[in-house]
Amino acid sequence: MTHEAIIEVMGASKSYPDGTQALAPVDLTVRAREFVTLLGPSGCGKSTLLKLVAGLLAPSAGSVRLRAQSLEAAGAARGAGLAFVFQEATLMPWRRVRANVRLPLDLAAVPRGEADSGVDEALALVGLSGFEKHFPRQLSGGMQMRASIARALVGKPHLLLMDEPFGALDEITRGRLDADLLQLWRSRALTILFVTHSIYEAVFLSTRVVVMGARPGRIVGEFTIDEPYPRGEQFRVSPKFLACCQKLSQALAEASGQGGEARPSVAAAS
């Protein structure tokens, strides 16, 4: 397992002109082939941190480096080998699945033939082969999210940033997509930085969970999930899983206690 630092966040923070501090200065290092999850309640700055890493937002202070290069030097996303998956599938409704998935390649002026075979590959990875000619509205929520992930994968990224991608889906679809995502992560040798507010999802998926607290957004703890892959459904009901969930719950509760918010109920944590 390589230990190259893919993402280095050094004292990065984000404040807005009206005085809101979305993120207090944080340090974070993500190494190659890790699956790191940012876990926290709303307003803890986890999406902000993800966007800072993606270059969608500029830090008010501190810096973000990708593979030891500053973000400016890394250039556009595809050049940086980076892909972002949003909470909504964010597909263009006026184009079919094929054209949607092909978008990153089209924007980079990749020849059509090469691009199309890339699309076929990506669709096969997410299990959407045969749906190229559909329009987004003809797909279910889960399938639209798969298409969105296919689009993220088509540029053959080495780093995947995912902002609560399964948040809008039902429990069953989410479970399926979680399993498929783990499969993808391992087979494609990806590094993944994942944002969620679901403790269960964080424990099931990650090698490491970074717990964040709100007001101000900050990192309050890091926990390694010490369970080998592949992780099946039996992991979800194992004692180790419960223990991890409890530790994370506690960390979250402590964080919100310090912040003066109402404590999130442990039982409701999902």
Partner 1 sequence: MPLGIGIVLLGLWQWWVTAMEIPKYIVPSPVLVAETLVSDWGLLSTSLFITLKVTFFAFAASVVVGTLIAFLFVQSRLLELSLFPYAILLQVTPIVAIAPLIIIWVKHQDIALTLCATIVAIFPVISNTTLGLRSVDRGLLNLFQMYGATRLQTLLRLRIPSALPYFFGGLRISSGLSLIGAVVAEFVAGTGGAGAGLAYQILVSGFQLNIPRLFAALFLITATGVVLFLVMVLLSRLALGNWHESELSEAT
Least distance between partner 1 and beta carbon 87 (Å): 8
Cα distances (angstroms) measured from residue 106 to each of 93, 128, 136, 192 = 17, 20, 18, 24
Q: Look at the alpha carbons of 220, 68, 65, 81 in this order and tell me if their dihedral is positive or negative.
A: negative
Least distance between partner 1 and beta carbon 121 (Å): 18
Least distance between partner 1 and beta carbon 140 (Å): 13
- Cα 4 to Cα 264: distance, rounded to the nearest angstrom: 36
Q: Look at the alpha carbons of 223, 226, 232, 236 in this order and tell me if their dihedral is positive or negative.
A: negative
Contact flags string 170-209 toward partner 1, x per CB under 8 A: ----------------------------------------
Q: Which residue number, 111 or 239, has a Cβ lying nearer to partner 1?
A: 111
Task: List the interface residues with partner 1, window 40-59 (CB under 8 A).
Answer: 54-56
Q: Which residue number, 25 or 104, has a Cβ lying nearer to partner 1?
A: 104
- Cα 80 to Cα 67: distance, rounded to the nearest angstrom: 9
Q: Look at the alpha carbons of 16, 18, 21, 27 in this order and tell me if their dihedral is positive or negative.
A: positive
- Cα 153 to Cα 9: distance, rounded to the nearest angstrom: 24
- Cα 165 to Cα 83: distance, rounded to the nearest angstrom: 13
Q: Which residue number, 95 or 215, has a Cβ lying nearer to partner 1?
A: 95
How many residues bind partner 1 (CB under 8 A)? The answer is 25
Query: CA torsion 45→167→108→185, rounded to 10°?
Result: 100
Q: Indicate whether 79 belongs to the interface with partner 1 (CB under 8 A).
A: yes
Least distance between partner 1 and beta carbon 102 (Å): 11
Q: Indicate whether 73 belongs to the interface with partner 1 (CB under 8 A).
A: no
DSSP 213: E
Task: List the interface residues with partner 1, window 90-149 (CB under 8 A).
Answer: 90, 92-95, 103-104, 106-108, 135-138
* Residues near partner 1 (CB under 8 A): 54-56, 75-79, 84, 86, 88, 90, 92-95, 103-104, 106-108, 135-138
